[in-house]
């Protein structure tokens, strides 16, 4: 089998497939990734060097950037990025991956799209390309399906194998083929009636989170203005055992899903129905402005000490988009840092997980020692990694803006 794309989604699928006994060709156009994998090195949080080395040692994992190595596959999984470009979905990676695999399609094989996208992509983009190049028909001659990724980087509880996997196909035989494959990798598969339903289910999952995070983010702004402790309000509401799910505020949303996936849904509604998907548009507006709000609160703190942002020493705690991950994609912490840098702040940051080459220019990574804390005019908590020395911050930070509700000392002002 082949897996096109060896990133945050494709590489865990490759490793799991090798573990359960598949011969896996891990294809990626980025030669530097392929070279690292061939050398037994990982580049994502959820896969270790040891796991890559173990996969290589089986003789059943072949990292490659050569499309010819895809020949003869039985199963192909497309796990490539789907970013937004000027507010519209960029399907170029899906199109390129489909074109790469299409010459090797043969009777009885199965092609599965995992990349998050808008409803209709599998049948309107992937299938026609596979059919036109191969001369075969999807359904009668070969299988095609969609199975959205549910990778949650940094999650130690829900991993690929114990997270239910939605599966779908362009016909019943295709559904069965997709279900059989992923049924070998995960504990539970969830069949749905068609690829469009599966594509939309993925967007619903992330839109649900995006909208609810926006709700509590806006609530946090109002509570601050009213002198109400939003964290106390949320904890009180969460005591209800039914009809409520706890979400917490923060400096914004980030990663490969929430800042992007709901906009796919909004874009398609505008394109096909001529109207806006209002919940998504409102949530985007709220969450996109949270870094500005955090920068404004930072300015207010410094003004209260008769200091300006320009020239102040600000220590940022966490730069990744979520705790216990080194992933900085679309990180709201980076957005906050950029806004403060534009205002002339001197920025240092503590993040034990983020790679140094992912840190923007103008930010100096430090260890987070007592001296680092003492030198700061203000400490701003943006990402609450467990590996941060929180007791040290409690003991020595004279002024803290905590956007994650991690600290409790009298010096702390929470979002």
CATH of the domain spanning 202-287, picked from 1.20.1560.10, 3.10.450.50, 1.10.1040.10, 3.30.70.100? 1.10.1040.10
Q: For the chain, where do the domains classified as CATH 1.10.1040.10 start and end?
A: 202-287
Half-sphere CA count of 33, side-chain side, radius 13 A = 18
Candidates 109, 110, 223, 257; catalytic one: 257
3-state SS record for 294-363: HHHHHHHHHHHCCCCCCCCEEEEECCCCCCCCCCCCCCHHHHHHHHHHHCCCEEEEECCCCCHHHCCCCE
289-414: CATH number: 3.40.50.720
The CATH fold of domain 2-193: Rossmann fold (3.40.50)
pLDDT at residue 409, rounded to an integer: 86
The three-class DSSP label of residue 207 is helix
- Do 345 and 380 contact (CB within 8 A), yes or no? no
pLDDT tens across the length of the chain (415 residues): 999 999 999 999 999 999 999 999 999 999 999 999 999 999 998 899 999 999 999 999 999 999 999 999 999 999 999 988 887 889 999 999 999 999 999 999 999 999 999 999 999 999 999 999 999 999 999 999 999 999 888 788 999 999 999 999 999 999 999 999 999 999 999 999 999 999 999 999 999 999 999 999 999 999 999 999 999 999 999 999 999 999 999 999 988 777 788 888 888 888 889 988 899 999 999 999 999 999 999 999 999 889 999 999 999 999 999 999 888 889 999 999 999 999 999 999 999 999 888 898 899 999 999 999 999 999 999 999 999 999 999 999 889 999 999 998 888 999 9
pLDDT at residue 353, rounded to an integer: 92
Backbone angles phi, psi at 59, to 5 degrees: 80, 5
pLDDT at residue 398, rounded to an integer: 85
Is 257 among the residues known to form the active site?
yes
Q: Helix, strand, coil % (nearest 5) of the chain?
A: 45, 15, 40
pLDDT at residue 142, rounded to an integer: 98
Q: What is the dihedral of CA 294, 295, 299, 304, to 10 degrees?
A: 10
Counting Cβ atoms within 10 Å, is residue 392 exposed (0-12), middle (13-18) or buried (19+)? middle
pLDDT at residue 182, rounded to an integer: 98
Size of the chain, expressed as the number of residues it contains: 415
**Residue among 374, 382, 368, 373 nearest 415 (CA):** 382
Which tokens belong to 328? 């900085």
Rounded distance between C-alpha atoms, residue 150 and residue 203, angstroms: 11
The three-class DSSP label of residue 331 is coil
Rounded distance between C-alpha atoms, residue 5 and residue 114, angstroms: 10
Q: What is the CA radius of gyration of the chain?
A: 23
Q: For the chain, where do the domains classified as CATH 3.40.50.720 start and end?
A: 2-193, 289-414
Q: What does pTM read for this prediction?
A: 0.92
């Amino acid at each position: 089998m082949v897996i096109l794309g060896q990133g945050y989604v494709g590489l865990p699928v490759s490793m799991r497939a090798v573990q359960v006994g598949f011969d896996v060709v891990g294809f990626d156009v980025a030669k530097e990734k392929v070279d690292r994998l061939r050398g037994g090195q990982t580049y994502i949080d959820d896969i270790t060097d040891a796991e890559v080395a173990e996969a290589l040692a089986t003789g059943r994992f072949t990292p490659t950037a050569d499309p010819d190595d895809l020949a003869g596959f039985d199963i192909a999984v497309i796990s490539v990025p789907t970013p937004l470009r000027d507010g519209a979905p960029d399907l170029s990676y899906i199109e390129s991956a489909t074109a790469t695999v299409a010459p090797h399609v043969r009777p009885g094989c199965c092609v599965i799209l995992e990349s998050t996208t808008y409803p209709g992509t599998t049948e309107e983009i992937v299938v026609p390309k596979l059919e036109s190049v191969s001369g075969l028909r999807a359904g009668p001659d070969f299988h095609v399906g969609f199975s959205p990724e549910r990778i949650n980087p940094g999650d130690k509880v829900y991993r690929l194998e114990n997270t239910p996997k939605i599966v779908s196909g362009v016909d019943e035989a295709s559904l069965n083929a997709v279900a059989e494959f992923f049924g070998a990798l995960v504990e539970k598969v969830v069949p749905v009636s068609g690829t469009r339903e599966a594509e939309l289910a993925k967007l619903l999952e992330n839109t649900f989170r995006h909208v609810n995070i926006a709700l509590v983010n806006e609530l946090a702004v109002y509570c601050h203005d009213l002198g109400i402790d939003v964290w106390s309000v949320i904890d009180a509401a969460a005591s209800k055992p039914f009809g409520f799910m706890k979400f917490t505020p923060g400096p914004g949303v980030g990663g490969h899903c929430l800042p992007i996936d709901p906009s796919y849904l909004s874009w398609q509604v505008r394109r096909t129905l001529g109207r806006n998907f209002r919940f998504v548009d409102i949530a985007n507006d709220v969450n996109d402005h949270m870094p500005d709000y955090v920068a404004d609160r930072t300015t207010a703190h410094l003004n209260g000490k008769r200091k300006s942002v320009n020239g102040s020493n600000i220590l940022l705690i966490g730069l990744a988009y979520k705790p216990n991950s080194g992933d900085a994609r679309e990180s709201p912490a980076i957005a906050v840092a950029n806004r403060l840098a534009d205002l002339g702040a001197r920025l240092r940051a503590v993040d034990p997980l983020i790679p140094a080459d992912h840190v923007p220019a103008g930010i100096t990574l430090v260890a987070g020692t007592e001296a680092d804390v003492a030198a700061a005019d203000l400490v701003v908590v943006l990402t609450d990694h467990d590996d941060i020395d929180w007791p040290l911050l409690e003991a020595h930070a004279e002024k803290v803006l905590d956007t994650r509700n991690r600290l409790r000392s009298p010096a702390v002002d929470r979002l």
